[in-house]
Amino acid sequence: MTTETDFYEDDGEEAPGLPAALRDPARVLRRQSRLILFSLALFLAVTSAATLHFPLKFQARATILLTAKSIPDEFVPTTIIANILEEFEAIRGIVFLRANLAKIISDTGLYPEERETLTLEDLAGRLLSELTVTPVAGVAGVGRPKAAPHSISFEVAMSGEDPEVLAAVVNRTVAELISANVEYRSRQARVTTEFMEREYSRADEALRVHQRKLAEFRAQNRGALPEEQNGVTSKLERLEVQRGNAILLISEFQAQLERIDARPQAFTESETLEDLRSRHQTATAIYTDDHPMIISLKRQLTAWEEKEGTTGSTADIEALEEREAIAKGVEIEQLRLDQIDRTVSDLEGRLNAAPLIAEEYAALVREEAILEENYNEYLRKLKNAELALSLEHSQQGARLVRLDEAMPPTSPVIPRWLVACAGAVVSIGLALLIGVVRELLAPVLIDEQHLEDSIPIPCLGSISEIT
């Protein structure tokens, strides 16, 4: 057993759970001072070398602002479905595709050494993990993804060893985000406009086809349509009056023919002239001047006036001409009566078919109203979509703008002096730890209690420390 020259009295109580060899830290440091100092010097030398060769990390930052559109929806409805937060996530997903990141790496010269051993796809994955886009704290809507703030700021940052390249990568990423935002919103508005144009064209074509169908139906069923019923009824009434007049005229003509047939073959001049004038007066009240009967009677009267005093055979000839004129009038009136009967029959047939036609016509009119409503609705939506597209082209919609451009950083994220301080603290700790371990591996007797605990022999006394 190894013992010190002197045994020390225990002035205080034992620290619970602490080994006896460590109850007096000052004496432990004194006993292990050489080992501790040697270890500390070694660790400090290693720390100094490591600090000199420690790669400094720089961080380049840029700030962008995503703002809502400047014109209210009540004037120009938007055609972008997502709110600005969801829209930004979609834009970031597009920009952070591996193909886009690989192009950024190639254009900015990032990872020059790693490109000799790794593929651009692998380097794009590394850039994806190192390039961060985070919302700026304290902005409305941050931490509440379902909210739709009017504006929100984001910080684009990246850490690395080359300040110039870092700034170039961050600025290029910001430019890609802004460009993607413009393209995304324009594409969304353009897709909506194209869709509405197709739907409007379909609605317009459907309405035109149905209108042609309805026009053909009206033409085929003219006179049997609901809005024409009053006109058809009035026309039937007029035709009935005309029919009665035609029948009356035919009856009168037939009576005149009977009177002519009942006359003797010779007439006196006075009787014949008086009869012709009476018939001419009656016919004038019924017919127009260009009617055959009027013309014949005029011719007879002229002949009588030119042949004053003529009787006998001349009267028979005039009677025959009068009979032919009356027969011609009967024929004309009969044709007119037949035409009226055919028209009346046709109109009555249309009136009988009117209920079924009215039902089909009402269905066609309802369908036309629906198609016209769809047409007007799609026309309104198309105009709104065109306004929204114009809004996006003029960059008055939700925009992503650069607030702060990334500048090459001049100070590292972790300075060398901070690395040196941390290394010194670690060195001191490790040196002390080595001294404690040495003390535990090669313990010494501290006091009477330590001695009694070490050997099963009672202690008879102790000698005080000699100063």
The string of DSSP codes covering 219-237 is HHTTT-SGGGHHHHHHHHH
Instruction: State whether 106 and 194 are in the same domain.
Output: yes
Do 348 and 235 meet the contact criterion of CB atoms below 8 Å apart?
Answer: no
217 is a domain residue: no
Q: What is the pLDDT of residue 436?
A: 81
Question: Average pLDDT of the chain?
Answer: 75
Domain boundaries, position 43? 1-56+414-467
> Which position has the token pair 């000199």?
52
Instruction: State whether 370 and 445 are in the same domain.
Output: no
262 is a domain residue: yes
Do 166 and 409 meet the contact criterion of CB atoms below 8 Å apart?
Answer: yes
Do 149 and 139 meet the contact criterion of CB atoms below 8 Å apart?
Answer: yes
Tell me the C-alpha to C-alpha distance, in Å, between residue 37 and each of 329, 414, 427, 431, 438. 152, 28, 11, 7, 13
Instruction: State whether 28 and 67 are in the same domain.
Output: no
Backbone phi, then psi, for 154, in 5-degree steps? -130, 150
Which among 135-149, 195-209, 422-436, 451-465 has the top mean pLDDT? 195-209
Do 196 and 127 meet the contact criterion of CB atoms below 8 Å apart?
Answer: no
Determine the 3-state secondary structure of 312 from DSSP. coil
359 is a domain residue: yes
Instruction: State whether 8 and 50 are in the same domain.
Output: yes
Determine the 3-state secondary structure of 322 from DSSP. helix
Q: Give the pairing of strands 151-160 and 399-404.
A: unpaired
Closest by CA position to 360, among listed 232, 233, 226, 230: 226
> Which position has the token pair 């001072």?
33
CA 407 to chain centre: 39
Q: What is the pLDDT of residue 335?
A: 84
DSSP E strand boundaries for 358-420: 399-404
Q: What is the pLDDT of residue 11?
A: 44
Q: How many domains does the chain have?
A: 3
DSSP annotation of 136 reads: P
461 is a domain residue: yes
Domain boundary among 355, 372, 404: 404
DSSP annotation of 295 reads: H
In this prediction, residue 294 has a pLDDT band, given cuts at 50, 70 and 90, of confident
AA identity, residue 8: Y
Which run of H or E residues covers position 61?
strand 58-67
Instruction: State whether 74 and 124 are in the same domain.
Output: yes
Instruction: State whether 142 and 18 are in the same domain.
Output: no
- Overall pTM > 0.75: no
215 is a domain residue: no
Instruction: State whether 256 and 352 are in the same domain.
Output: yes
Lowest-pLDDT choice from 114-128, 178-192, 292-306, 402-416: 292-306
214 is a domain residue: no
219 is a domain residue: no
Rounded CA-CA distance 52/56 in Å is 10
Lowest-pLDDT choice from 93-97, 264-268, 440-444: 264-268
Q: What is the pLDDT of residue 21?
A: 56
Rounded to 5°, angle at Cα 131 from 130 and 137: 115
AA identity, residue 61: R
